[in-house]
Chains A and B, each alone.
Chain A
Amino acid sequence: MKASNRLWEQRLEGHLPEQLAQEISTFETEIELRRQGKVDERIFAETRLRRGAYGQRYDNGQRHDGSQTRQLAYDTSKNTKGPNTVWDAPGMMRIKIPYGGMTPEQMEVMAELAEEYSDNIAHVTTRQDFQLHFIHLEDTPTLMRRLAAVGITTREACGNSVRNVTGCPYSGVCPDEAFDVTPYADALTQFLLGHPDVQNFGRKFKPSFSGCTQHACGLAAMHDMGMIAATREVDGQVERGFKIVVGGGLGAVPHQAKVFAEFLPVEELLPIAQAMSRVFARHGEKKNRSKARIKFLIKTWGIDKFKETVLKERQKLPNDPRWTEYLNSVDDGKETPLNPPGELPPINGSERLARWLKTNIRAQRQAGYVTATVALPLGDMTSDQLRSLADIARQFTNGTIRTTVEQNIVIRWVSKKDIPALFDALDKAGLGEPGASNILDIVACPGTDTCKLGISSSRGLAAELRSRLAGKCFELDEAIQGLHVKISGCFNSCGQHHISDIGFYGVSRNIQSFQVPHFQVVLGGQWEENAGSYGLPIVAIPSKRIPDALDRIIDHYMKLREKGESFQLFINRVGKAQIRQLLDDLKTMPDHDAEPSFYADWADPREYSTGDIGKGECAGEVVSAFEFAMTDAERMVFDAQTVLDSGEAQKAGTESYSAMLKAAKAIVMIEYDDITDDPDEIIEEFQERYFDTKVFFDPFAGGKFANYLFAAHDSAGTPFTEESARHLIEEAHLFIEAVHSCYNRIRSKSAS
């Protein structure tokens, strides 16, 4: 843990948005409560996930060293930070970057955090987030404060929540888009963040925005809710809307999204998203997490029933001004260029620059401007590079930067005349790598490097393939250069292997009584048209033979390709059986004694084992809204005790009363989930549903504990003394316990 955590808290006090500051303080208290064993580990795990604090490989306290599994000598006297998760084991912090939009100031803070808390590497993910690894739990509130100070939140970056709202990084500058989706993605982000209707999902929910149908930048078809910009003309007026697709997703079994609406007017975007969230929360699977994504609900119901239910729910929603008030300013705050438009000066002789121009520069809709893609190897960059990039963005643009789903960064609004100087600046910072979005730009998930679920080393393989391709990439045929290669460390598809021309995902095989890392070869996926179709696995090849497999596939394509034939069409024409046959002999393994390196993974000398695979936290723990609310209520009573100890009786009393209301609301919610935060309504509903019916009555104490609540409500607003506050804290404790007992009785009764 860092020595300066308190210093940062003091330094940033008053500099954070109030809501964010409160949320982070609450999380800090929750950490303390878990440390003291006062919060259940399962609830705490989901709590920290919803704050972006994720687990990492080996956080169960054991690791295979190549010959045996050994315990890592962590202090085991401490509580866990989740089921089977050691408190001191470092974890990953996922940082949401909505639609990938960043400022230079945010990049500088990211650089500082990577340097001070992580391993000096900031990693861009396939959903436009940043991830920092090897973070200690107790440092996470400080990271959150430093991020919040520049307008970034980690809230709901993981867990069963609405994840980062992704969006096309070329929005607003793309020649092919219907309109700029940025303000709509931003509005949806703000609207759903922390919304009560998105707190009770059985699994995560991923939205994405795309400005057009034909390109891949937004990958709408593989999202839970994909928005594709569209316009229509009504009475001579151009109306903006979205084609809405739902239930897409990769994972072990990929699903193509279904069309929910061919054209949804922009005014209906937020209410429909809210209604969809409510339907998912209410009807989505909660017990079996492998069937809990919204795609399974849609599969079970069919799109028509799903649509009908969502539209009915939409009609019931009380009007929320936030649905449309942002629409008045969608065209405000548009990005502007720093420098006037220009033309590309003559380029003299630099082959590297010529290659970079070909692959990393893309014309903007606005004449005289381009976007420049910074190709990050495996999505990684150092703190120094982040700072350099911030400087470069300021030097050539008004700081207009976005992360991409290909784990790169796009600099927007570069005047064409500045291109050579921009390239020089990037190259000097080690960021001038050509080959963006071509075969060299391999996407890989973290795999066995840091992920608990990783089976094979996706990053190790990606680095190896990159290194082999680097020398020859630009000598290859144009058709080969344009192929997309994506790698996942397991079947869960975080590397998006299904939507690449050539994909790989990690599996293991037992050969000669040894475990051997393999990759399934997946062919025929489509990156374009928003991830238009998914490839299929054809054969599992030992990891160390994958480079040979890639060479053979490429050679075969070059030899048999018809003029202008895309790789996907080629695979469809020649058939997967032929490719399987082509690779068949690569399945064989040399003897262990002859070639022991085949029994180890890339960049890892340990003899391969699947013994390090743990339970993933991707799905989080399914924790009900009741459990969350009750944990909140308990924390509030704890806070009340703390402030009373520091002499603040009024605050302590008020907080205790709020805790009782929170608990009362929690139990009302199991019958009536539209209950508001209005104290009168909570008391009325609680009394009607649980007191008058005697459901709440304790077998021995009867309605005594409910009367504590009613008395506290009746005397709300009366000043507290030290004594009355102390009494109320005690009563709040008893009331909360009574709510738990009541809940348990209800559950037992319904189970029997």
Chain B
Amino acid sequence: MEFQHVTVKIYVDGEMQTDPAKFIDVFHAWIREGTLDGLLIDVIDYRHVPAGPGVMLIGDASHYSMDNVGCRWGLRYSRKAVLEGSNEDRFREALQSAAKACQLLESHFDADPSLRFGRTEFDLSINDRALAPNTQETLAAFTPELEAFLSPALGHGEFTLTPPADQRSLFGVNVKTARPFDLTAL
């Protein structure tokens, strides 16, 4: 199966202390300074939506957001454009993009209060129901590929993959690790 349009969410460690309004300023600066790869277009404020996308950085090929979906804050990276290469390439691109954004935010908000992302959990989903319907068949095809990709970084057998309960959700897994991982190793 071809897994395009990979989405990754890395959760904030503990309760978020940072005022979400501050992400608006940071994301605008990222556009102005060309901090991230790819064309970034604008920032949209969805803080008024309960359990919503929070503050979004809209891009041409990908969106980033500090979102509160599921009432848990985290950095979400969502690849919109098709990416050539293998599934492994696409997992890597999404995880590395998300990890880079997390590192940038952590270094920006390093005090009063600091912002820290967790190192034991993230979500990885496929934002395309035709390519990856949320079924057991997809899970069966997906699991060995993702396990093979993640094992070098997270340790063989050192993580669990849990699919979402609602069959109408995008196909994906919640990844939990036995020991903290290094963002740069993803």
A contacts, CB < 8 Å to B: 1-4, 7-8, 11, 57-58, 63, 65-67, 72-74, 88, 90, 108, 111-112, 115-116, 119-121, 134, 136, 377-378, 380-382, 384-385, 387, 430-431, 433, 449-450, 459-460, 463, 466-467, 603-606
Q: Find chain A residues with CB under 8 A from B51 CB.
A: 382, 384-385, 430
List chain A residues, Cβ under 8 A from B36: none
- List residues 33-78 of chain B with CB under 8 A from any CB of chain A: 39, 41-53, 56, 58, 60, 63, 67, 69-70
**Number of CB contacts from chain A to chain B under 8 A:** 117
| Most A CB within 10 A of own CB, among B4, B50, B58 | B50
Query: A3 near B128 (CB under 8 angstroms)?
Result: yes
With CB as the reference atom, state the residue of chain B lying closest to A11: B130
Name the contact of A382 in the complex, choosing from B21, B47, B53 (C-beta under 8 A).
B53
Judge whether B46 and A380 touch: CB under 8 Å: yes
CB–CB A3/B2 < 8 A: yes
Judge whether B31 and A65 touch: CB under 8 Å: yes
Rounded to whole angstroms, the CA-CA distance of A557 and B170 in the bound complex is 50
> Footprint of A on B, CB under 8 Å?
2, 4-5, 21, 24-25, 28, 31-32, 39, 41-53, 56, 58, 60, 63, 67, 69-70, 80-82, 127-131, 166, 168, 170
Chain A residues near B81: list those with CB within 8 A: 1
Q: Which residue of the partner chain A has the closest CB to B28?
A: A605
Query: A466 near B41 (CB under 8 angstroms)?
Result: no
Query: B41, A63: Cβ atoms under 8 Å?
Result: yes
Instruction: Identify the 7 closest CB pairs spanning chains A and B, nearest first.
Output: A430-B50, A4-B130, A3-B4, A7-B130, A603-B45, A377-B48, A65-B32
Which residues of A lie under 8 Å from residue B46 when comparing CB positions? 119, 121, 380
- State whether A604 touches B49 (Cβ < 8 A): no
Q: Tell me whether A381 and B128 are in contact in the complex, defined as CB-CB below 8 angstroms, given that A58-B42, A66-B28 are known contacts.
A: no
Chain B, Cβ-Cβ closest to A136: B80
Excluding A3-B128, A116-B170, A433-B50, 10 further A-B contacts by CB distance (< 8 Å) are A1-B81, A2-B5, A2-B82, A67-B32, A119-B63, A121-B46, A430-B52, A466-B48, A605-B24, A605-B25
Q: Report the separation of the CA atoms of residues A4 and B69 in the bound assembly, to the nearest whole angstrom.
A: 25
Closest Cβ–Cβ distance, residue B142 to chain A (whole Å): 16
A605 to B23 Cα, complex, angstroms = 11
Report yes or no: A72 in contact with B127, Cβ–Cβ below 8 A.
no
Q: Given the complex, which residues of B lie within 8 Å of A90, measured CB to CB?
A: 41, 58, 60
Q: A74-B39, A387-B166 are in contact. Are A119 and B56 (CB under 8 A)?
A: yes
- Contact indicator A3/B45 (Cβ below 8 Å): no
Partner of B48, one of A63, A72, A378: A378
Task: Give every chain B residue within 8 A of A11 (Cβ-Cβ).
Answer: 130
> Are B168 and A108 in contact (CB-based, < 8 A)?
yes
Task: Offer 14 A-B interface pairs, CB within 8 angstroms, sorted by A.
Answer: A3-B2, A4-B130, A7-B131, A57-B42, A63-B41, A66-B32, A90-B60, A116-B127, A119-B58, A377-B48, A382-B49, A433-B50, A463-B45, A604-B24
Residues of B with C-beta under 8 A to A134: 58, 63
A66: chain B residues within 8 A (beta carbon): 28, 32
Closest to B24 in A: A603
Chain B residues near A4 (CB-CB < 8 A): 4, 128-131
B48 near A116 with CB under 8 A, answer no
Pair A3/B58 contact, Cβ less than 8 Å: no
Q: Is the CB of B82 within 8 A of A1?
A: yes
Q: How far is the CB of A745 from chain B (nearest CB, A)?
A: 45
Q: How far is the CA of A380 from the CA of B52 in the complex (A)?
A: 9
Which residue from chain B places its CB closest to the CB of A117 in the assembled complex?
B80
Given contacts A1-B82, A3-B4, A65-B32, contact A380 B24 (CB under 8 A): no
- A433–B24 Cα gap in the complex (Å)? 25
Contact present for B25 and A120 (CB under 8 Å): no
Known contacts A3-B4, A58-B41, A72-B41; A116/B50 CB under 8 A: no
Q: Which A residues are CB-close (under 8 A) to B32?
A: 65-67
Distance in angstroms between the alpha carbons of A88 and B61 in the assembled complex:
10
Cβ–Cβ < 8 Å partners of A72 in chain B = 39, 41, 60
B3 — nearest CB in chain A belongs to which residue?
Answer: A3
Q: Evaluate whether A121 and B49 lie within 8 angstroms (CB atoms) in the complex, with A115-B127, A387-B168, A605-B24 already known.
A: yes
For B48, list chain A residues within 8 Å (CB): 377-378, 380, 463, 466-467
Could you say which residues of chain B place their CB within 8 Å of the CB of A604?
Answer: 24, 28, 43
A63 to B40, CA, bound (A): 11
Cβ–Cβ contact A119 & B53, under 8 A: yes
Residues of A within 8 A of B43 (CB): 604
Contact yes or no, B42 A63, CB < 8 A: yes
Give bound CA distance, A136 to B24, whole Å: 24
* Least CB separation from A466: chain B residue: B48
Please, which residue of chain B has its CB at the minimum distance from the CB of A463? B48
State A377–B170 Cα separation when bound (angstroms).
25
Residue of A nearest to B127 (CB): A116
**In the assembled complex, which residues on chain B have CB atoms less than 8 Å from the CB atom of A8?**
130
Distance in angstroms from A522 CB to nearest chain B CB is 23
Question: For residue B32, which residue of chain A has the nearest CB?
Answer: A65
Contacts of B130 in A (CB 8 A): 4, 7-8, 11
Tell me if A116 and B28 are in contact (CB < 8 A). no
Which of A58, A108, A382 is most buried by chain B, counting CB atoms within 10 A of its CB?
A: A382
A466 neighbours in B (Cβ, 8 Å): 48
Chain A residues within 8 Å of B31, by CB: 65
* Distance, CA A459 to CA B63, complexed state (A): 21
Do A116 and B128 contact each other (CB < 8 Å), given the known contacts A72-B39, A382-B53, A604-B28? yes
- Selected from B44, B70, B168, the residue in CB contact (under 8 A) with A119 is B44
Q: Collect the chain B residues with CB atoms within 8 Å of residue A467's CB.
A: 48
- A601: shortest Cβ distance to chain B, in Å? 11
Residue of B nearest to A59 (CB): B41
Instruction: State the CA gap A120–B28 with chains docked (Å).
Output: 20
Distance of A119 Cα from B48 Cα, bound (Å): 15
B residues near A111, Cβ cutoff 8 Å = 168
B166 to chain A, nearest CB (A): 7
Question: Given contacts A3-B2, A3-B82, is CB(A606)–CB(B128) below 8 Å?
Answer: no
Q: Which of A116, A387, A605 interacts with B129 by CB under 8 Å?
A: A116
**With a CB–CB cut-off of 8 A, which chain A residues contact B21?**
603
